[in-house]
């Protein structure tokens, strides 16, 4: 059974959360039953607004999430869901407008918006690129459907936001070992990942827009070597102790790539709240049992 998530509640964190756009979700195209731009005679509702699934389900607006600056750039959106004048939802072709200079964004500009930081010649500046305040200048989605009554209309500006992931818990792991023998330790455990603001229970915080970034995810564990004292305990029936290890966290968007999660008591990350430790130690409890009695002959 997985243990209850150890959600951290951070005092003094701002309750307001800027809404951000999740382009990979926008790029999914027309859902079943959605009208095409060619067949529609409806205008978009004024003021123009994007449609959004109810939180906490995956919504079109949400943060991109990463591990120390690592994540995969989603595809640039070519359609977006708009609220129409009859309150229906319609996916319409769009072009993206760069807020900084008003230009139409191409693939290179899109990648820069999601992956690069201003003033960082090498793109993402590692852990410096992640945290609640990291944003880029913003984008606007403009309807690009010649002949449609709302062609040229634009939705509101949104800021792209990138959030660091947190580990908030692991499944319970217990190993029984006969006295005098070596324990068979699990190679992986289910670890619970959550974006930073959700981990703090910030009102309105949204799920990570990067596919597969949050939730229970199997993760490889590198266990610490047994200390001399622990090796002695393995000789003692009835003894019990915890062994810790390092989590190899899958990179959001690229689970075949992993990053060793920082351990507790480490150097800390940029933008950590005072007094909080962003590290995590995987834990397995080892219980030493008696040597089985020899059967009577």
Burial zone of 147 (CB within 10 Å; 0-12 exposed, 13-18 middle, 19+ buried): exposed
Q: Verify cis geometry, omega within 30 degrees of 0, for the bond prior to 139.
A: no
**23, two tokens:** 């382009």
Q: How far apart are alpha carbons 66 and 63 in whole angstroms?
A: 10
CA 141 from chain center: how many Å?
Answer: 24
pLDDT in tens, the chain (297 residues): 433 333 332 323 232 233 333 333 333 444 444 444 445 479 999 999 888 755 445 555 567 787 766 666 677 888 888 999 999 999 999 999 988 788 999 988 887 776 655 444 444 444 455 555 555 557 888 999 999 999 999 988 876 677 778 899 999 999 999 999 999 999 999 999 998 888 888 877 778 877 788 999 999 999 999 999 999 999 999 999 999 999 999 888 778 888 899 888 765 554 555 566 778 999 999 999 997 766 666
Q: What's the pLDDT score for residue 65?
A: 80
The dihedral through the CA atoms of 202, 206, 212, 213 has a sign that is negative
Strands (E), the chain: 64-66, 79-83, 89-98, 139-143, 162-170, 174-178, 188-195, 215-223, 240-251, 254-260, 282-289
Name the nearest CA neighbour of 145 among 59, 31, 51, 44. Answer: 44
Q: Structure pTM?
A: 0.69
Q: What's the pLDDT score for residue 49?
A: 86
Q: What's the pLDDT score for residue 10?
A: 30
Burial zone of 86 (CB within 10 Å; 0-12 exposed, 13-18 middle, 19+ buried): exposed
Eight-state DSSP code of residue 224: P
Q: How far apart are alpha carbons 208 and 214 in whole angstroms?
A: 7
Strands 188-195 and 215-223, how do they pair? antiparallel
Eight-state DSSP code of residue 291: P
What residues are paired with 94 via a beta bridge? 143
């Amino acid at each position: 059974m997985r243990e209850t998530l150890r959600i951290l509640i951070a005092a003094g964190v701002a309750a307001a959360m800027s809404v951000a756009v999740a382009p990979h979700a926008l790029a999914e195209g027309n859902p079943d039953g959605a009208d095409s731009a060619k067949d529609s005679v409806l205008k978009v509702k004024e003021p123009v607004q994007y449609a959004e699934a109810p939180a906490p389900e995956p919504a079109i607006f949400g943060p991109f999430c990463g591990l120390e600056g690592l994540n995969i750039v989603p595809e640039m959106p070519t359609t977006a869901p708009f609220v129409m004048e009859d309150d229906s939802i319609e996916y319409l072709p769009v072009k993206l407008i760069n807020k900084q200079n008003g230009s139409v964004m191409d693939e290179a500009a899109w990648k820069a918006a999601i992956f690069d930081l201003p003033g960082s010649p090498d793109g993402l500046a590692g852990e410096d690129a992640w945290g609640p305040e990291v944003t880029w200048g913003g984008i606007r989605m403009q309807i690009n459907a010649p002949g449609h009554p709302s062609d040229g209309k634009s939705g509101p500006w949104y800021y792209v936001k990138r959030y660091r992931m947190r580990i908030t818990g692991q499944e319970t792991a217990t190993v029984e070992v006969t006295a005098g023998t070596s324990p068979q330790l699990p190679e992986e455990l289910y670890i619970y990942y959550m974006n930073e603001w959700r981990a703090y229970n910030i009102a309105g915080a949204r799920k990570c827009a990067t596919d597969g970034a949050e939730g229970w995810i199997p993760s490889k564990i590198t266990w610490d070597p047994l200390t001399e004292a622990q090796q002695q305990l393995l000789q003692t029936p009835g003894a019990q102790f915890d062994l810790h290890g390092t989590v190899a966290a899958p990179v959001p968007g690229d689970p075949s790539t992993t990053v060793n999660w920082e351990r507790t008591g480490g150097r800390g990350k940029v933008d950590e709240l005072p007094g909080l430790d962003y590290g995590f130690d995987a834990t397995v409890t080892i219980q030493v049992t008696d040597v089985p009695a020899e059967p009577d002959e």
